[in-house]
A and B are shown apart, each in its own frame.
Chain A
């Protein structure tokens, strides 16, 4: 490919006019982006946005920005899924409406987005919002680093979105296996987009992992022992330990692949002594724990939701903690089950098969704990609880198909078929996404001060669950029938009916997503009726509910003292849930900073320039990254004091609301 000094490999050919579909996708992205910009300008909201959101170091606002990013990416990733289902439903002896190359880009971006730019940001959003509150802390350990992590994740997501408009995306799947993703087979910039997006967001994720581990170990409220922590904090701790130890694997795998592509090295090439198995090993040493990074916090959400809506204590707290730790450790012992068929000897496969099955034990323990939590409880079927119930049933089915895949001889039959696709969607959709939705509905009133609309929530729930079963159960059958995954078209008449059912399932999920959009709109419109400033709408046991909704910037005017599990419930039972003092102290909080957004911007420029081989711009980007960090280290005036009077005023307003709410309920 021609390359110029000024623009590298970037030419007019990079614009997506090679197909109508690609061009319309690009148009949607561009018009969507422009209309958001226009709307903000029209509302004259740039100043507010900049001061209150883009430069914030408040963990709660960063959490909300993470969730917004995740929801936008969920839409994008879901459109990809819908396009694939539509293509396969009609592509029987027919080219369908997508070219094979375009189909490959779509499944690659679907996987990449759903794992890295929907699941991860959504989880980090909820963790950001909830964990410091549950710990009774004022913020995370490193608030500015937190903002930087978010903006690096956003920069990665932006690179994926830009690939839709300028150039192409990877065709190598979300795992990017070489030698296919080597330059000789994938000469376009698609794989480079994939690598740069993952490397940049991966740095952000690692920093987040460090931040949360330190927060949980060091910033717990006075008296709160580790075994006093809510289970969500435990799962967040284990997930973030996994982040710290696993994400470097992604960095190394992606980095070495980039060196092969950019500098002609031979890590994973077919010639020159390269060894593809190195990639499989390094990637899955990251990739398998990644599954648990996604699922463990969702387990924590279910462990918050189920007891609250069963009006009981969580059954077997200690067991759940140890089961979580077991899963975290075992997740590092099973990576090889992702390549049972690649020629390891039978003993190796048997070992990893057994290790894989062993994970079902602590997971099964958890399922029993959740069921026993509900046993003889007074169940309230609010939407968070509905998601949790659907999760338990569906997840168990997925777990059983997982045990089938963990048997190496059976894996030889099923690997790379739609059975596998059905299995991992059967784990991650109920195991992660339903958890995220449960957490979204559960903590929404905490973050905004008003509840989500229950009616539309139930509709969304119904469509999602029905859609899930219709979309993925046929894929198990197709796996049995031998249909391999990632097929753009096929010639087996027997397959088509299942693919049509699956497409119908995807359509139902679309109805679910539309219901969720309607739910959000309706909830905002009717917020006056569901306002709950006092802050404890579910009569919940943990500390995040012991402050106003939304909480003040400093979370707690007086740090709560904790002497037991479920601290807030214990305080409520003792009759003094809120430690209102006679007088308040001034509080020191970090100032806003543009370092986060600036680092995100220069990292994006760096990534984009490297993708297109625009080396002068890459050098500028790198200089920008280093320069921003060094410049920030010279800043001195980084905190501000909230005066005792301001704290007192805020707290009094809340106290009035609490007393009014209690008066109303009494």
Chain B
């Protein structure tokens, strides 16, 4: 019965009360719509990057700069963090508070590790005089990656807030609903990163 009436994917929220279901349906749908809007921002940044990739103004180009190994490690870290978030979601579904806290914590650490790797990459580029001010190409590269990075940072802050809220409120309806949305957000960032890896790093290796 509850499976048949479940109209949103992912974490099963409470179906015991009709209002709970209605609340979850409206809120989660709204969050999907927000993600669509955010996806447009990334789409425009991708388009800008594609238009700017050759505009190096005499500065270094992608193939000269990019370290595919580092990008690959970043990809692995982020993919793993999506997996650990999945484990947190499963624990949440089964109502195991401790386990979900643990996996959220691991996800948070992986998120920070990703940001650390990204900052290290940026610092490395800056050391080669490849800064956002060098050329249109590098401006669009740094802005595309930092926009994603800022989203990851926001996700990390959100994870901390949710871990605190689990302690205070337990797995209440509100908390479950928010974790559901956070999980959508986190996987969305993973998805965006896959496109970054494909559009930014892979062509640089291929050429």
Q: Which residues of A contact B (CB under 8 A)?
A: 141-142, 206, 209-211, 213-214, 217-219, 244-245, 247-249, 251-252, 256, 259-260, 263-267, 269, 271-275, 278, 282, 285, 626, 630, 633-634, 636
Contacts and interface: CB of A to CB of B under 8 A. Distances in A.
26 contacts: A141-B26, A141-B30, A142-B27, A142-B30, A206-B37, A210-B34, A217-B29, A218-B29, A245-B36, A248-B40, A263-B133, A266-B55, A266-B139, A267-B48, A267-B140, A271-B57, A272-B133, A273-B135, A273-B137, A274-B136, A275-B55, A278-B52, A626-B157, A633-B178, A634-B168, A636-B174
A214 B41 contact: no
A211 B30 contact: yes
B56 interface: yes
Given A245-B40, A271-B57, A273-B55, A266 B136 contact: yes
Given A210-B30, A265-B132, A274-B136, 17 more contacts: A210-B33, A211-B30, A214-B33, A244-B40, A256-B143, A264-B133, A265-B139, A271-B57, A272-B57, A272-B133, A273-B55, A273-B136, A273-B137, A275-B51, A278-B51, A282-B44, A630-B157
B161 interface: yes
A261 B136 CA distance: 14
Contact of A633 (B38, B51, B56, B165): B165
B37 A252 contact: no
B139 A267 contact: yes
Main secondary structure of the interface of A (DSSP, over half): helix
A218 B23 CA distance: 10
Contacts of A218: 25-26, 29
* Best-surrounded residue of B55, B59, B139, B168 (most CB of chain A within 10 A): B139
B33 A213 contact: yes
A518 to B, nearest CB: 42
Given A214-B29, A218-B29, A285-B44, A245 B57 contact: no
A269 B135 CA distance: 10
B184 to A, nearest CB: 14
B45 interface: yes
Interface in B47-81: 47-48, 51-52, 55-57, 59
B154 to A, nearest CB: 9
Main secondary structure of the interface of B (DSSP, over half): helix
Contacts of B174: 636
Contact of B30 (A214, A249, A263, A267): A214
A189 B36 CA distance: 33
A269 to B, nearest CB: 8
B41 A248 contact: yes
B34 to A, nearest CB: 5
A285 B143 CA distance: 20
A626 to B, nearest CB: 7
B161 A630 contact: yes
Contact of B37 (A210, A256, A273, A282): A210
A141 B23 CA distance: 9
B143 A265 contact: yes
A633 B159 CA distance: 13
Given A245-B40, A273-B56, A282 B139 contact: no
Contacts of B135: 266, 272-273
Nearest to A245: B40
A633 B163 CA distance: 13
A278 B30 contact: no
A-B interface, 9 closest residue pairs, ranked by CB to CB distance from nearest? A273-B136, A273-B55, A273-B57, A265-B139, A248-B40, A266-B136, A214-B30, A273-B135, A252-B44
Contacts of B178: 633
Interface string B131-155: 0111111011011000000000000
Given A267-B136, A273-B136, A275-B51, A244 B165 contact: no
A244 B36 contact: yes
B122 to A, nearest CB: 13
A217 B32 CA distance: 13
B177 to A, nearest CB: 11
B91 to A, nearest CB: 21
A263 B132 contact: yes
A264 B133 CA distance: 6
A249 B40 CA distance: 8
* Best-surrounded residue of A210, A249, A285 (most CB of chain B within 10 A): A210
